[in-house]
Amino acid sequence: MTGSRMDRHSLAVRLAALVLGVSALLFGAVLAYNYFVSRDIIVNQAEENSRTLGREVANHVAAELRPVEQTVRNIALALEDASLTSGEITSLARRVVQSNKDIFAMAIAFEPYGMAKDRLFFAPYCHRTEDGVRVTELGGPDYRYFYMDWYQLPRELGAPVWTEPYFDDGGGGVMMTTYAAPFYRLQDGRRRFAGVVTADIPLAWMQRVAQDVRLYDTGYSFIISRNGTFIYHPLQELMLNHTIFSLAEERGDSRLWDLGRDMTEGGTAFLERVSVKGGVESFFFYTPLHVGGWSLGLLFPKDEVLREATMLSRNLLLMGGLGFVLLAGGVFLVAGGVTRPLRRLSGAAMEIAGGNLDAPVPASRRNDEVGELTDAFAHMRESLRDYIRSLTETTAQKERIESELRIARDIQMGILPKLFPAFPEHDEFDVFASIEPAKEVGGDLYDFFFLDDRHFCFLVGDVSDKGVPAAFFMAVTKTLLKAVAPQSSGPAEILEKVNEDLAEENDSCMFVTLFLGILDIGTGEVRYANAGHNPPLLLQGDGAQFVPPLNEPMAGAMPGMRYTEQSMVLGAGDVLFLYTDGVTEAMNHDRELFSEKRLTDLLARARTDGVEGIVGLVDRAIKDFARGAVQSDDITMLALKFTGKKGA
Amino acid sequence: MEFTTNKIGGYAVLEASGRMDAVTAGEFEKACGELMDAGETRIVADLTGVDYISSAGLRSILSSAKKLRGMSGEIRFCGLTGMVNDVFTVSGFAAMFKLFDTAADAAQD
Amino acid sequence: MADALRLEALLDNLEALLDFVAARAKALDVPPELAGRVRLVLEELLVNVCNYAYAGSGARGGAEPDSPGLVEVRCLRRVGGQATNLFCVRIRDWGSPFDPLTREAPDTGAGLDERPVGGLGILLAVEMADHLDYCREPDANVLTACFIMNPTANHP
């Protein structure tokens, strides 16, 4: 096991990361969804609340001012009666002010020379003082009221108007507004404009209404006039001094300017913006007041509105966080529980892989996959141990057999004559033989011996099978040959006798090919017989040719075979080359055979090389040809040279 | 506006009084024109009686001064008080014309 | 009664407008020594309105379609910074958007010959008022000129 217990790549960590990551994602999504949904609900609720509140304020203002409007319009109607005297008109105004606590002052202003032909001005003005209602004349050289907005606007519009609010210089800085209604009289049969009735209304109560509007903690309201002038705003310095437009330009806030325009045009909207007072992100609602073209604005900080949603989300986040920590603990515990036996198992596996098959496999106490894996692993270790034990035994057995085979092979090779020069006392002839055993035990044999002083017997054979039985067969054949040969008249008889003996008890149906020759070392005559063996090569002059084959059967397969004896005479220097098919059937990697042709070509000019040289030449040629390809058969060669010299 | 004229040395003294505003400014230009028509090219405008002047008044002064310049003449001022003095300073007229306390000072040399 | 006068924007009405402001200033306890400056500023601004506000545009501001446009002056007192009392006059016209304060000031250092006749009005108004600002309302131009009423607070 490498790395720390909680390696970054360990299964437990990966498992935990996956589970925790997915849960965190899920939780985050739920939290976000919850926040946005609850925020939506709360914002909708806030909008609904502000609409309700706006309606309430508007209704409140309307309830205060509608009676004043009604009163003024009634007076205007009453003034259409041309029979009213100036005294009656003045006392009418006085009575209105006396009986209407909401009205601070009333003026009834006539058109120039409208009341009397000799009076330019007639405009009695009744206003409340500490000592009761006082009456004064408004008109004068310094106050040509015909040009005043309160006079001009109703005249031009032909309808009552609310003037822009103003601070009354007489009333100690009380904010006032004036409601002015035109009145008409019939003149020359036509209804003509005759003057204006006005009522001055202090607005302190309206400011209190606006001030008393409670919106969350620090929310506030403001009221602007038709021209955008602040009639009420919690920032005192804005009141009457600023219009929403001058404020917007001062602040470079074109959005505020657009909002002011919509407000003064009687729009209603709910939106988000930064408040003028305090400069905090706020919700902003505005709606017309239905009096004087005024508009009410309500601003309340977003975070106060969303406090509940934020709180809810924070609690959820806290709970979620706690749950997440618990989950993390649980996941690590479970993951650790799952992987701990795995880690132990892995440790045991490493030890077993290191060769210690007796390393204990941790006991499994579970019924889950890890338990199964542990059991399977224990079983595997048992099987492995059994297998290795049996393999060890088999290997030992095989090694023993192989060693025994090697010994058999050594014995087999040991029975072949290996000492050269074999007959240093004879210079009439020379003989050399070699056997290159294949990996498997083969059945090639060669032999040579004197039958008497003159006759030298030589042979090469090849048992048809391989393995231990072939080795035995070869040993038997060689022993038989050597036993039979001295009591026989010639090569054919030797082969016939050996065939009889081999075939007699040959249940395994083995056989052997044999070429056997007997050289008269005095004359060079060779008598020979061939039991199915490859024809030898005769190296004579500048050539090599096969000794003509007789095609007679192999020895040992069937009793009662007859062999024909042949003979030839070797000249001085002639060489007879005997071999087994291991030579001509040697193979290279391309599965080509060495072939008889290569052999004859090779030996054609090799006669003078001497027997050892000839055998060595062929041996090297075969090795060059095979280039390391596995040798599948024994390679056996025997070269006999007749020198023609007389014995010493 | 009201104007009276008299003569101190080589200078015709134009005593103005009242307000030189958008409504009355033309009257000053007209009074100067009458002096020029009478052959006067060196004029002292005594503004002691003028309590108000606006850009319209300045414009008529400038216009008259340019005409006098064309006749190789000159206009000088004296008796600037209150806001008239302020307006002359703010508008750069104080640097453009020769100003004196009294008509007698202005009519020297 | 409300402190606003609205008349047709004609030079013929200039006197009436200026007299109204003078009367309101007196009623609002504006020191008499300010009267000249107030009148100068108002004259310059009103002349400007009369000459340019409705040039090339149809009359607006509640007047009859074919008559000249209207101009309104409104007087008020307000508390300015450093506890100063301000007397303010607000001039409103319903002409096309135009801010006279952004016009380039004439070169007051120029000599007589290179001096153009005119252009001095706005300069005088700017110099003589303590505060002067322009604001565009959706359908009107609003110029507000303010004067410090208790100069001792500003000039100790």
Domain boundary pick from A157, A187, A202? A202
Band the pLDDT of B37: cuts 50, 70, 90: very high
* pLDDT in the model for residue A640: 94
Residues of C in contact with B59 (CB under 8 A): 117-118, 120
Total number of domains constituting chain C: 1
Q: Is residue A335 part of a domain?
A: no
Domain that holds residue A165: 79-202
Residues of B in contact with C108 (CB under 8 A): 90-92
Q: Is residue A483 part of a domain?
A: yes
**pLDDT tens digits, residue range A52-76?**
989 988 898 888 889 999 999 999 9
Contact pairs from chain B to chain C, CB under 8 Å: 72
The subunits that touch chain A, with at least 3 C-beta pairs less than 8 Å apart, are C
What backbone torsions phi and psi does residue A592 show, to the nearest 5 degrees?
A: -90, 145
Which CA distances in Å does A309 have to A26, A302, A481?
19, 11, 117
- What is the crossing angle of helices A244-251 and A254-264, to 10°? 170
* pLDDT in the model for residue A9: 58
> In Å, how far is B84's CA from the nearest CA of chain C?
9
Domain that holds residue C83: 4-154
* pLDDT in the model for residue B46: 94
A178 closest CB neighbour out of C2, C76, C135: C2
Q: Is residue A69 part of a domain?
A: no
pLDDT less than 70: residues of chain A: 1-9, 169-173, 364, 647-648
Residues of A in contact with C85 (CB under 8 A): none
A148 closest CB neighbour out of C1, C28, C92: C1
* pLDDT in the model for residue C83: 65
- Report helix, strand or coil for A496: helix
Averaged pLDDT, C94-109: 74
Q: Is residue A166 part of a domain?
A: yes
* pLDDT in the model for residue A523: 92
**pLDDT tens digits, residue range C23-35?**
888 888 888 888 8
Between residues A348 and B65, the one the model is more confident about: B65
Averaged pLDDT, B45-53: 92
- What is the crossing angle of helices A11-78 and A204-212, to 10°? 160
Report how far residue A376's alpha carbon sits from residue A371's, in angstroms, rounded to the nearest whole number: 9
Mean residue pLDDT of chain C comes to: 78
Is A148–C27 a contact, with Cβ atoms under 8 angstroms apart? no
Q: What is the CATH number of the domain that holds A578?
A: 3.60.40.10
Q: What is the CATH number of the domain that holds C22?
A: 3.30.565.10
Residues in a beta bridge with C131: C146
What backbone torsions phi and psi does residue A492 show, to the nearest 5 degrees?
A: -60, -45
Domain boundary pick from A174, A202, A230? A202
Q: Is residue A230 part of a domain?
A: no
Quick check: A258 contacting C, CB < 8 Å?
A: no
Total number of domains constituting chain B: 1
* pLDDT in the model for residue C105: 56
* pLDDT in the model for residue A126: 92
**pLDDT tens digits, residue range A341-375?**
777 878 888 888 787 777 777 776 777 777 787 88
* pLDDT in the model for residue A364: 66
Interface of A with C in 374-393 (CB under 8 A): none
Report how far residue C27's alpha carbon sits from residue A167's, in angstroms, rounded to the nearest whole number: 13
The type of residue at A575 is V
SS (H, E, C) A128-197: EECCEEEEEECCECCECHHHEHHHHHHHHHCCCEECCCEEECCCCCEEEEEEEEEEEEEECCEEEEEEEE
Label the pairing between strands B42-53 and B11-20: parallel
The type of residue at B26 is G
Total number of domains constituting chain A: 2
What backbone torsions phi and psi does residue A55 show, to the nearest 5 degrees?
A: -60, -45
Best interface-test mutation with C: which of B23, B51, B54, B96 has the largest number of C CBs within 10 A?
A: B54
Q: What is the CATH number of the domain that holds B66?
A: 3.30.750.24
Closest of A420, A450, A474, A471 to residue A616, by C-alpha: A420
Domain that holds residue B7: 2-106
The type of residue at A377 is F
